[in-house]
Amino acid sequence: MTVPGSPGPEPRVWGSRIPLRNGNFTGRQEALRELRRQMSEGTTAILPQALRGMGGVGKTQLVIEYAHRFKGEYDVVWWVASDIPLLVPGALGAMAERLGLPSARSVGIDEACRSVLDALRRGDPYPRWLLIFDNANKPSDIEAHIPEPRAGQGHVLITSRNPEWSSVASTVVVDVFDRSESVEFLGKRVRDRITDAEAGQLAERLGDLPLALEQAGALQLQTGISSEEYLELLDQQPVETLSANQPTAYPSSMSSAWRLSITKLEEYLPPSLQLLRCMAFFGPEPIPIDLFRWSGRSAGPILSPTLSNPVLRTRAIGAIGNFALGKIDDRAIQIHRLVQMLLRADLDPKEQEEYQEEAMLLLTTGAPANPEDDELWGRFSRLVPHVVPVGAVESEDPRLRDFALNLVRYLYNIGDLGSARSFVTQFRDRWRELSGPDDFHVLSAERHLGNILRQSGRYQEAFDIDSSALERARRVLGADDELVHLLINSYGADYRSMGRFSEAQRHDEESRDLHVAKYGDTAPQTLRALNNLALDYALMSRYAEAVELQNFVVAARSTSSEAKVEVLISMGGLGQAVRLSGDYRSAFDLGVEAYEYGKAELGPDHFRTLRAGIDLAIVQRRLGTVEEALDLARDVHSRYLSLFGPAHADTVAAVTCLANALRTSGDVEGSHALADEVVRRLPVIFNPDHPFTLASRGNLALLERARGNVDLALAMNEEVLARLSDVLNRDHHYALTVAVNLANDLFELGRFEESAELDRDTLSRLKTLLGDDHPMTLGSAANLVSSLRSIGGNDEADALSQATLAAYDRILTNRHPDAVLAAEGGRLDFDFDPPRY
Is 485 within the bounds of a domain? yes
Query: Given a cut of 50, is residue 2 above it in pLDDT?
Result: no
Judge if 227 and 361 occupy the same domain.
yes
Which residue, of 126, 146, 173, is where some domain finishes?
173
pLDDT in tens, 321-357: 877 678 888 789 988 776 787 788 788 999 999 999 9
282 backbone dihedrals φ, ψ, rounded to 5° = -90, 180
pLDDT in tens, 678-732: 999 999 988 899 999 999 999 999 999 999 999 999 999 999 999 999 999 999 9
CATH number at residue 425: 1.25.40.10
For residue 406, the 8-state DSSP code is: H
Is 541 within the bounds of a domain? no
pLDDT at 247: 31
Across residues 361-368, what is the average pLDDT? 90
For the chain, what is the total number of helices (H) and then of strands (E)?
A: 39, 9
CA gap 625, 798 in Å, rounded: 29
pLDDT at 251: 40
Judge if 317 and 438 occupy the same domain.
no
How much of the chain exceeds pLDDT 90, in percent?
57
Domain holding 262, by residue range, is 179-242+250-366
Query: Given a cut of 60, is residue 794 above it in pLDDT?
Result: yes
- Poorest-pLDDT segment among 176-180, 570-574, 693-697: 176-180
Judge if 698 and 812 occupy the same domain.
yes
Is 829 within the bounds of a domain? no
Is 529 within the bounds of a domain? no
For residue 329, the 8-state DSSP code is: E
41 confidence band (pLDDT: 50, 70, 90): low
Judge if 157 and 193 occupy the same domain.
no
Judge if 77 and 188 occupy the same domain.
no
Judge if 394 and 439 occupy the same domain.
yes
pLDDT in tens, 500-509: 999 999 999 9
- The phi-psi region of residue 58 (left if phi > 0; otherwise alpha if psi is between -120 and 50; otherwise beta) is left
Judge if 209 and 136 occupy the same domain.
no
Is 653 within the bounds of a domain? no
For residue 540, the 8-state DSSP code is: T
pLDDT in tens, 662-683: 999 999 999 999 999 999 999 9
56 confidence band (pLDDT: 50, 70, 90): low
Query: Given a cut of 90, is residue 210 above it in pLDDT?
Result: no
Across residues 629-639, what is the average pLDDT? 96
Across residues 483-497, what is the average pLDDT? 93
CATH number at residue 55: 3.40.50.300
The pTM assigned to this predicted structure is: 0.75
Q: Bridge-partner residues for 170, per DSSP?
A: 49
Which residue, of 453, 474, 494, is where some domain finishes?
494
pLDDT at 837: 58
Is 525 within the bounds of a domain? no
140 confidence band (pLDDT: 50, 70, 90): confident
| Burial 742-760, CB ≥16 within 10 A → b, else e | bbbbbbbeebbebbbebbb
Judge if 168 and 275 occupy the same domain.
no
* Angle subtended at Cα 371 by Cα 370 and Cα 373, rounded to the nearest 5 degrees: 75
Judge if 426 and 345 occupy the same domain.
no
Number of alpha carbons in the 13 Å side-chain half-sphere of residue 299:
26
Is 504 within the bounds of a domain? no
Judge if 394 and 472 occupy the same domain.
yes
Judge if 465 and 360 occupy the same domain.
no
Helices (H), 414-523: 417-435, 440-455, 459-477, 482-497, 501-519
pLDDT in tens, 79-127: 998 878 888 998 999 999 999 999 888 888 888 999 999 999 888 899 8
Is 764 within the bounds of a domain? yes
Mean pLDDT of the chain: 87
- The phi-psi region of residue 796 (left if phi > 0; otherwise alpha if psi is between -120 and 50; otherwise beta) is alpha
pLDDT in tens, 408-466: 999 887 777 788 999 999 999 999 999 999 999 999 999 999 999 987 778 889 999 99
Strand order in the sheet with 332-334: 287-288, 332-334, 327-329
DSSP string, 177-221: PPHHHHHHHHHHHHGGGS-HHHHHHHHHHTTT-HHHHHHHHHHHH
Which residue, of 113, 140, 173, is where some domain finishes?
173
pLDDT at 162: 65
CA gap 22, 15 in Å, rounded: 17
549 confidence band (pLDDT: 50, 70, 90): very high
Contact present, 833 and 733 (Cβ < 8 Å): no
Judge if 350 and 375 occupy the same domain.
no
Q: How many domains does the chain fold into? A: 4
| Burial 492-509, CB ≥16 within 10 A → b, else e | bbbbbbbbbbebbbebbe
